[in-house]
Structure 1
Amino acid sequence: MSYDLIVIGGGPAGYWAARRASDENLRTLLIEKKSIGGTCLNEGCIPSKVLLNSAKLFTSVKEGAKFGVVADNVKFEPETVIERKNRIVKKLSGGILNQLKSRGTEIIYGKAKIIGKMDGVFELTVNDTVVRGKNLLIATGSKPKIPVIDGIMEGLENGYVLTNSEFLDLKSLPASLVILGAGAVGLETASYYSMLGCKVTVLEMSDRIALNTGRGFAENLMKIFRKKGIDFYFNSSILNISHDSITFYSNGREYVLHPDYVLLCTGRTPVVDELGIENIGLTPEKDGIKIDETCQTNISRVYAAGDVTGGSMLAHTAFRQADVCVNNILGKKDVMRYDNIPYVIYSCPEIAGVGETEESAAGKGINYEKHTLSLQYSGRFVAENESGFELCEILVDKNSRRLIGVHIAGSYVSEIYMVQL
């Protein structure tokens, strides 16, 4: 079978590119080895939002007296929450599948391997079938990064060390847990379990949380999370993990904790193994497949998009990269920019931002000024929060008076539209 475009991977970058290409009357094949929607929909962003929504609702009901809403014997049922999460994932994945089929996108489930290039056409195998395409888009996503720690593989095998694939399916609440990593996934996970009464400890190898925010902003955030009962240890180095303990150093001091589970939120690594990319002369970098501003690799008509490219592992990035790929395949010159991609951390409080931080602005030599604005100026915020945790920092270029960065934390800040700067 021959196609105008073959897409490997059905996550945000892959399914959006396939949809766009099909809309443009390109004969498109999408190859997905597991489930349409990728990690984001099946094991990441969407499941975590479902769980966090239930935890926030539970907390709101418990604390409702200050708003004139009183309820007794409020219970949280994790098993019901997980069942609802699974229904939502199935519904959304089915919706994407129907959209693709309605546009004529062909879909094959299986593991793709690139054989090579013959007469200007790329050849791949999937389920023992050979398929050919004029253009190739690699959108294979990422997988959990497993740090080298004594005992970690045994922990994964025996179920007391969990990745996002497992801890988003826990149907009973642990009394205590340790989270490795204080990035977006780590903070969301810490928020979920701490709101439900679990004792949460976060170990971070760097010296602060939320590295995509500014240092001062992150320090204020950490104070908020600590008030919610979450413990943090920075500059952490894990010595070993066993079935009933984790031993680590933090700032030169040794500690031993005894959690029910250790959750890995240590980042993700691009999936490039066993794809056969070497058969067309494509060699991945350490942090993923290298692409130019048109999202093309060093091999003509071979593109890459999404987490497999490393760097900005956000759904917003994946969607935009997919657009750039398809536009350039169609001969419409388009380039990828990374300086104004918004981010959201669905923790409690929520965190959102776009543009420069103080560190990045200073690193670029931008003459900037910082303004701190209270969310108390927002009528909605005051109406919906009795004692709010809120931060808002705005960065402005002194010379051009141009807005170059906004970073905020508080209830519902994920709903604030981050305009292109």
Structure 2
Amino acid sequence: MAAQSFDLIVIGAGPGGYVAAIRAAQLGLKTAVVEREHLGGICLNWGCIPTKALLRSAEVFHLMERAKDFGLSADKIGYDLNAVVKRSRGVAKQLTSGVGHLLKKNKVTVVMGEATIPTKGKVSVKTDKGTEELTAKNIILATGARARELPGLEADGDLVWTYKHALQPPRMPKKLLVIGSGAIGIEFASFYHTLGADTTVVEVMDRILPVEDAEISAFAKKSFTKQGMTIKEKAMVKQLDRGKGKVTAHIEVNGKVEKHDFDTVISAVGIVGNVENLGLEALGVKIDRTHVVTDEFCRTGVEGLYAIGDIAGAPWLAHKASHEGVMVAELIAGKHAHPVKPESIAGCTYCQPQVASVGYSEAKAKELGYEVKVGRFPFIGNGKAIALGEPEGLIKTVFDAKTGELLGAHMIGAEVTELIQGYVVGRQLETTEEDLMNTVFPHPTLSEMMHESVLDAYGRVIHM
């Protein structure tokens, strides 16, 4: 069979790949996307989306337990874990079929199978019907990443879980150990703890949520501890002894090894890029610690070959992948493309309380040589937060003292994952403290705290 030829072939149909394919098709490029498992990738099927559905169930359950605080009564509150999971899977399925529809609507050719790149400009796809040969001048690698497995801590689906098992749990954990306190670890810890699991989180770094501003990490730790979670920082799980229905974890804290029993362990210790079996080494692609090395335009250094999203390194976020996909499609189509700056990408964690940030932490800004002005505003000083029954939280802003540039914003509390976008837009428009101070924020809203935090950085805070 003759090889099908395209202007662009995208390998991987996650939020990087499918978005790149759609944008390329919109720009008139004949485009194909190759996917080995599910349209929508990990994000839609096993990541961002189904976890948010689970966390929403936990949030509603938590509110039901607090009914009395709101002058309401709710008796015999409970949950059906299978039904909670079923809803989450339904949400994922609905969105996945939506991706298929979008690709079809934009006339993108979808090839389901496993891709390799035998030579430059050629993609060979192993499908269930045999092998299909595709050719294109441009190829985008968007193969994503998978959970990192540490020796001795490998998942078995019964006692030790990865995120996939945690999304379709065989049972409700009673005593849970979560290894790793990045977004994935903390979200699962938050979900299971809210539903009643006695939860311990172990983090090897000196604080949980290590990519966040130190003040936010400290606030989160205090909040989780108050909820009854056990948090162990500067700690390492050395080994897991698996028995019948229980795991004994050897946890090293301050040079001493403690032994604790759990019935379930969730490993969330980072990710590794899906770089194997594609033929990248033979093509001369540079790979550094399982990630493809690229320039700011996602070019790999091999002509016509680009890499976007998780396979191209941190930050490992769906929205970064999508934006890179659009940028590369526009670059290939000869448009003026804007590189994606890592520090202008917001990170969101949907635990309880939520965490969100953009730009530099206070420590990072100082390390880069900035003289900073820092503002803070607590949720307790905000009318809407108190009316919502969510008085715990903090908004922190970091400015360049010399120019008034907004260097970073960091938040913890109710709905901050929605609020952060205000600061993201501000940074994109190169706003200064003056612009933000002169902006009229609607009342009563949580967003007013964003205003007050800016005012506080310049000694002009009103409600504190």
Corresponding residue of 1:90: 93
Corresponding residue of 2:342: 338
Report if aligned partners of 2:113, 2:125 keep a CA contact under 8 Å in 1.
no
Structure 1: which amino acid aligns with 2:386? V
Tell me the TM-score normalised to structure 1 length. Answer: 0.95
Residue 384 (str. 1) matches residue 383 (str. 2) = no
Corresponding residue of 1:130: 133
CA distance in 2, matches of 1:51, 1:158: 19
Structure 2: which amino acid aligns with 1:41? L
Residue 326 (str. 1) matches residue 329 (str. 2) = yes
What displacement does 1:53 show?
0.3
CA distance in 1, matches of 2:286, 2:371: 39
CA distance in 1, matches of 2:215, 2:385: 23
What displacement does 1:375 show?
2.6
SS at match of 2:211: coil
Corresponding residue of 1:147: 150
Q: How many residues align?
A: 413
Corresponding residue of 1:64: 67
- Change in Cα spacing, 1:123 to 1:84, as seen in structure 2 (3 Å) is closer
Corresponding residue of 2:370: 366
CA distance in 2, matches of 1:358, 1:147: 32
Consecutive unaligned residues of structure 2, counting only runs of 5 or more, are: 428-464
Residue 35 (str. 1) matches residue 35 (str. 2) = no
Residue 226 (str. 1) matches residue 230 (str. 2) = no
CA distance in 1, matches of 2:282, 2:256: 49
CA distance in 2, matches of 1:38, 1:182: 23
Structure 2: which amino acid aligns with 1:199? D
What displacement does 1:364 show?
0.9
What displacement does 1:371 show?
1.1
Structure 2: which amino acid aligns with 1:87? G
Corresponding residue of 1:240: 239
The correspondence of residues 153-302 of structure 1 with structure 2, limited to 5 A, is: 153=154, 156-157=155-156, 159-170=158-169, 172-243=171-242, 244-302=247-305
Percent identity reads 30
SS at match of 1:262: strand
Q: Which among 106, 109, 113 is matched to residue 110 of structure 1?
A: 113
Which segment drifts farther, 212-221 or 262-271?
212-221
CA distance in 2, matches of 1:61, 1:273: 47
Aligned-residue RMSD, C-alpha: 1.3
- Change in Cα spacing, 1:343 to 1:62, as seen in structure 2 (3 Å) is same
CA distance in 2, matches of 1:360, 1:109: 43
Tell me the TM-score normalised to structure 2 length. Answer: 0.87
Report if aligned partners of 2:330, 2:336 keep a CA contact under 8 Å in 1.
yes
CA distance in 1, matches of 2:290, 2:406: 31
What displacement does 1:287 show?
4.4
Deviations, residues 329-375 of structure 1 (Å, cap 9, x unaligned): 01123222112111110000001111110121012101112111123
SS at match of 2:291: coil
- Change in Cα spacing, 1:86 to 1:110, as seen in structure 2 (3 Å) is same
Corresponding residue of 1:5: 8
What displacement does 1:158 show?
6.0
Corresponding residue of 1:310: 313
Report if aligned partners of 1:344, 1:414 keep a CA contact under 8 Å in 2.
yes
Consecutive unaligned residues of structure 1, counting only runs of 5 or more, are: none
Report if aligned partners of 1:114, 1:279 keep a CA contact under 8 Å in 2.
no
CA distance in 2, matches of 1:125, 1:347: 39
What displacement does 1:295 show?
1.1
Corresponding residue of 1:347: 351
Deviations, residues 34-56 of structure 1 (Å, cap 9, x unaligned): 00111111111111101110011
CA distance in 2, matches of 1:274, 1:383: 55
CA distance in 1, matches of 2:69, 2:86: 31
What displacement does 1:78 show?
0.6
Report if aligned partners of 2:240, 2:249 keep a CA contact under 8 Å in 1.
yes
What displacement does 1:25 show?
1.5
Deviations, residues 19-70 of structure 1 (Å, cap 9, x unaligned): 1011112111100000011111111111110111001101101111111111
CA distance in 2, matches of 1:261, 1:177: 5
Report if aligned partners of 1:31, 1:109 keep a CA contact under 8 Å in 2.
yes
Structure 2: which amino acid aligns with 1:122? K
Which segment drifts farther, 375-384 or 31-40?
375-384
SS at match of 1:80: helix
Report if aligned partners of 1:287, 1:309 keep a CA contact under 8 Å in 2.
no
What displacement does 1:253 show?
1.7
CA distance in 2, matches of 1:37, 1:380: 36
What displacement does 1:171 show?
5.0
Deviations, residues 282-336 of structure 1 (Å, cap 9, x unaligned): 1311140011111111112111101001111011211111111111101123222
Report if aligned partners of 1:116, 1:124 keep a CA contact under 8 Å in 2.
no
Report if aligned partners of 2:139, 2:306 keep a CA contact under 8 Å in 1.
yes
SS at match of 1:311: coil
Residue 403 (str. 1) matches residue 406 (str. 2) = yes
CA distance in 2, matches of 1:237, 1:66: 39
- Change in Cα spacing, 1:262 to 1:189, as seen in structure 2 (3 Å) is same
CA distance in 1, matches of 2:191, 2:391: 18
Structure 2: which amino acid aligns with 1:309? A
